[in-house]
Structure 1
């Protein structure tokens, strides 16, 4: 081998060895990315193992607010078809009775009952508490509460009547707080229960024309997540649904005065059928499915849950000690 060939070989070997050092950061990045992907997939696969047992609807007592029409009525039908006892809560008594007739067509046994209660769930908590107590006296403790009552009003911010902001918060937010507050004590005593909040896609992202509506639906997420941390130690689970535009009487009413921009935005996602939306909502409430990002959050949520559980145990031990004294 000539000296020139030897020099060339040496240079080639040096470049080869040093090129690996140049590629090392890229290789390490790939390894870290692969590890993260594998870890996330593992969490996602094991999430069903740490989820609660599915709720059996056959013989369960399900309360549906806003159950006289739209998504609420379809949720009630879906639960009734699986053997549940249903309490429908809404304002319009005539619509409630009509919904009751529709539900009864889907009975799977002769023991099932549909109870109708007419009340404005956003008016006074005492009234809501009273009707929930009435329902539990007739059909037993509430196993699942579906907060589906709500209304949508759209319009430009400066053109919206100020009272509309208050009304939407009362109906869409407090109208879910009151029934939930009325059933939670019994659920905690029984160490079981499901609570469903029906929000909206406008509860995930603020949209043109929804300056009054979106905040009232955004509020439900804060309520649902905070409440879940508080009641999880009692084996009570919260689910939160964000349905898109759905072909309901409420949407038809909203469309009468919807701004052009809001209509065009809504048209990009199409309109879903209420029975399809209801099936997904009921499935998620019964099985308590866990989304991917919710699964990733298990790490810090797990530590928070342990704090809440520890405090609950200490509080119950303190109560027991006081009773013995």
Structure 2
């Protein structure tokens, strides 16, 4: 889209930025797609705003008012604060790249405030709910190997703190005696210890699986032998929600939240939890301290005679 609204030189800068995001910064594909979409929308706005092709001169002459006008236009399209903040982050990434490459410098972005985003706390399950979510699979699924598969995947989410995409990307080669090599966002790898119940659930699945599993092929398979779709696990958890009377917030990702919250509640080190979750920034992990504090206050108010 940007190629039709920019001159060839500017388009070459956009292509170079895209390569930098993918090859150097190794952004996840969906994040990269969002960044490019944000820039494309900004270029389209600038083209309408200035009445012509967007060039280096257009970008160099940007004023804070232009950025604010773009954000106001996006806000009028019912874009939320979180998406606006990401759009501004995308623009800062692009212009930061241009500055590093010696193409141009602009101060316009530095004076525009990032929209305030209300940070919602992750909704964790209780220990009993998390355990029940895993064990109840065998009561709902009649095919033994599929029940074992789903229990193993959910065990990885709760017992190892994996994202559903990380769990489904595991190969047999990633499994070691007591650890698991996990490939997370941006292609970053980390080693995660496997507690005994998680190791046992994986072993049970491997023994029951009717398919030959190559060392470098996805470990978890669908009913016909292909790679397991995340949608299957999401539907399984939705089925479990109904059977166990769990809230709508009970999802595969809620098991990952529960992993972090329960570790922290038992005295787990925040830095260690950051490593286990694969968070790039400690500030992302710190949100779980608020979750744990909220749970503590709820218990206090419910139990204290003068609360």
Common fold by TM > 0.5:
no
Compare CA radii of gyration and give the structure with the larger one: 1
Q: What TM-score, normalized to structure 1?
A: 0.20
Higher strand share: 1
